[in-house]
Amino acid sequence: MNDPIVAPPAQGLYEPSSSHANLVYSAGMTARENGVLQYKGLIGGGVDMEEAKAAARIASKNAVDAIEASPEGHRTILRVVQTTVYLACIEGFESHSQIADAASEYLRERLGPQILGARAAIGVSSLPGGSPVEIQLTATVQTVVGERR
12-29 residue pLDDT tens: 898 899 999 899 999 999
Render pLDDT for 78-117 as a digit per residue (tens, 0 to 9). 999 999 999 999 999 999 999 999 999 999 999 998 999 9
Closest CA to 74 of 15, 23, 142, 19: 142
CA angle 70, 74, 78 (to 5 degrees): 105
Entry field: residues in the chain: 149
Residue 30 has pLDDT above 70, yes or no: yes
Question: At residue 109, what is the residue type?
Answer: E
The model scores a pTM over 0.85: yes
At residue 147 the predicted structure's pLDDT band, cuts being 50, 70 and 90, is low
* Distance, CA of 149 to CA of 62 (rounded, Å): 16
Determine contact, residues 99/147, Cβ cutoff 8 Å: no
Q: What are phi and psi of 12, to 5 degrees?
A: -170, -155
Out of 48-52, 73-77, 122-126, 131-135, least confident range: 73-77
Q: Could you count the other beta carbons within 10 Å of the beta carbon of residue 109? A: 12
Which residues lie closer than 8 Å to 120 by C-beta, 6 or more apart?
82, 83, 84, 85
C-alpha torsion sign, points 20, 22, 28, 31:
positive
